[in-house]
Amino acid sequence: MKYKIMIKNENQIIFDGRPLDLPIKKDILISKSVEMFNDEDPCIIHQTYVIETLVDQLISKLKKQINEEVSIIDIKESVRFIDIDQLETYKIILRSK
Amino acid sequence: MKEFYLDYAATTPIDKRVLKFVEPYLTSHFHNPSSLHTHAIENKKAINDSRKKIADAIGAMPDEIFFTSGGTESINFALKGYAEKHPDLKEIITSKIEHKATLNTLHYLEKKGYKVHYLDVDGFGLIDLKQLDQLINENTLMVSIIYANNEIGTIQDVKSISRICRRHQTKLHLDAVQAFGQIEFNVNDLDVDFLTLSSHKFYGPKGAGALYVKKGLDIEPLIHGGSHESGHRAGTENLYGIIGMGEAARLAKLELEQNREHYQKLQVDFHQKITKVFKDIRLNGTPCGSNRSYNHLSYAFKDILGYQLHFQLSKRGVYVATGSACSSGAITPSHVIEAIGLEDEYQPCVIRITFGKYSKIEDHDEIIKKFIESCHELRGE
């Protein structure tokens, strides 16, 4: 299954695209890299692996409510790596392509 | 979750018999082999026993074997060590599909003023012998070639390469890290001058390697200090690594035929099954049964990114390798994949599958199923 993610603020679309294209917070990327590799300066291959892991965890969470709007406030921990301002007030939808 | 390890070209687990063999050297037999008391002398003997096992396995004399920390150090030792003793010879020939241990050592030598020629390869990864013949000249220090390629499994025609080198009276270094334990060979038949081995590629411990240096060739040590390794590599020996490597080499030689049969069955079965399901994938390197490592398969998939497929497979417990490299902050196809001229649409997704003696043919259906699931997830089918 190929997925797309949409992040909305009421009727305004904030993000609509492939999960791996979500903007990532650098500090979360580094802290996850430290958790996984104990490396504060990961190479691009390790960065990509970290991002895939974060995104995969989010998809697993959202799969249970596929095509449904989910309030981000309810899944705060799973989206904390996404670098979008005021994210907590938005909604997120996982769609199958 | 059941796990499937298919990355034996990256490393192998230590053989339990080797582990049992080295255990005393991690505990009770700790004595420094350079000392002259009873147990130290026993350890010195154990190192020399190991040297003999390795020499026997490749048809060398024991005094032609020098222990190192692994394949990378052996390659550095051969190239830099011989270069230092022959400062008048300033050209080196290699191929475009060498391991980074060779390429980056040569890049270092380029900075020191050496001219390095990189031989082209054909679509199978076989080097251009005519180009080699034309490039060797009176300034050539050495030719350095990888015997069995780690990424695509191609086995070079070493006898033809050595004949060309011999005709021009040029030295030949062979990186046999992936070849040992796969191919029956003898340094005299191959007629090579230097040959690199790495213990952890044939079920020995990590941190041990060896360089074969043909008798009579002079080579400068990389590491200076005491007179260990006949003055060729200073430092107290990695006792259990060396002893484990010797025993692993003995077993690899002894069981080569049965392992090869096992690998061939695995290779043929997996190749037939995966190509039946994925009709548009490409096998990188030489065809199965023709100058190809018996445990090695490398595939290029269309319209998928290698690191994404690798991630999906890993999530499902299938452990393979990708043909991707990190270059200037981007994930790019490796230099080997570029050199064989794989079509652009296939380059981003190369997956390497390498079997080992603990791989099981009955796992293949489940592994293929996991490939299908992973590709479906990525392609949105």
The pLDDT-based confidence of A96 (bands split at 50, 70, 90) is confident
Task: For residue B308, list chain A residues with Cβ-Cβ distance below 8 A.
Answer: 20, 52
State the first-to-last Cα distance of chain A, in angstroms, to the nearest integer: 7
Q: Are residues B116 and B192 in the same domain?
A: yes
Q: Are residues B262 and B247 in the same domain?
A: no
CATH of the domain at B74: 3.40.640.10
- Residue B326 annotated among the catalytic residues of the structure: yes
| Distance from C-alpha of A61 to C-alpha of B325, rounded to nearest angstrom | 31
Q: Are residues B361 and B312 in the same domain?
A: yes
Q: What is the residue range of A78's domain?
A: 3-96
Residue A88 distance to chain B (closest CA, Å): 29
Task: For residue B330, list chain A residues with Cβ-Cβ distance below 8 A.
Answer: 44
Contact yes or no for A49 and B376 at CB 8 A: no
- Which residues 56-95 on chain A approach chain B with CB closer than 8 angstroms? 56
| Chain B residue with the nearest C-alpha to that of A42 | B329
Catalytic residue among B165, B288, B326, B349: B326
Whether this model's ipTM surpasses 0.95 comes out as no
Contact A4, A16 (CB under 8 A): yes
- Residue B378 confidence (pLDDT): 86
- Residue B381 confidence (pLDDT): 61
Closest by Cβ to B326, choosing from A43, A53, A56: A43
Contact yes or no for A97 and B377 at CB 8 A: no
CATH of the domain at B289: 3.90.1150.10
Q: Are residues B99 and B40 in the same domain?
A: yes
Q: Are residues B321 and B207 in the same domain?
A: no
Token couple for B259: 């392992």
Among B239, B254, B269, residue at a domain's last position: B254
Q: Are residues B268 and B373 in the same domain?
A: yes
Closest by Cβ to B326, choosing from A44, A52, A53: A44
Report whether pLDDT(A25) > 80.
yes
* B293 part of contact set with chain A, CB < 8 Å: no
**Please, what are the averages of pLDDT over each run of 10 residues along chain B (381 residues)?**
96 98 96 92 96 98 98 98 97 97 97 98 97 98 98 98 97 98 96 98 98 97 94 95 98 97 97 96 95 96 90 96 73 90 89 97 98 89 61
Q: What is the residue range of B263's domain?
A: 4-12+256-379
Q: Are residues B219 and B278 in the same domain?
A: no
Contact yes or no for B331 and A1 at CB 8 A: no
- Residue B330 confidence (pLDDT): 72
Cα-Cα-Cα-Cα dihedral sign, residues A93, A95, B2, B4: negative
Give the contacts of B249 (CB within 8 A, at least 6 positions apart). Answer: B53, B54, B57, B180, B197, B199, B202, B204
Report whether pLDDT(A10) > 90.
no
Task: For residue A18, list chain B residues with Cβ-Cβ distance below 8 A.
Answer: none
Residue with tokens 């420094």: B32
Q: Which tens digit of pLDDT belongs to each residue from B182-203?
A: 999 999 999 999 999 999 999 9
Closest by Cβ to A2, choosing from B307, B324, B380: B380
Q: How many domains does chain B have?
A: 2
Q: Are residues B94 and B219 in the same domain?
A: yes
Query: In angstroms, what CA-CA distances link B79 with B144, B193, B265, B299?
Result: 8, 12, 37, 32
Q: Are residues B198 and B280 in the same domain?
A: no
Q: Are residues B129 and B250 in the same domain?
A: yes
Q: How many domains does chain A have?
A: 1
- Residue B377 confidence (pLDDT): 86
